[in-house]
Amino acid sequence: MPIAALAVLVFCMSAAIDYCDCRCTMSVMAREPNAAAFWSIVQYVLGAAGFVMVVKVSLWLMVPECLGLLVGTRLALRKDPLKS
């Protein structure tokens, strides 16, 4: 697989990982154990796959990974469900 395609994949995965992390934290704050557990499991699975890709393929994939983390946080926090 070309490195550009892997960069896009890592970007999307890290955005999803950070989205899951934010949702897990919000679920914990809202005292919703089932939702928090779900988001935690999804975060773990995606994180393990992303870590393996970065370590096995190229450390340069950390750049799109960091950008994905930024985007994932922005997406998860665009509307706070605790305030509605």
Q: Where are the alpha helices (DSSP H) in 1-83?
A: 3-29, 33-56, 62-76
**Which percentage of the chain shows pLDDT scores above 90?**
55
For the residues 5-13, what does the mean pLDDT come to? 92
Given this model, what pLDDT does residue 28 score?
Answer: 94
- Side chain identity, residue 30: A
* Encoded tokens for 10: 């890592």
pLDDT in tens, 23-38: 999 899 999 999 999 9
- Side chain identity, residue 41: I
pLDDT at 81 over 70: no
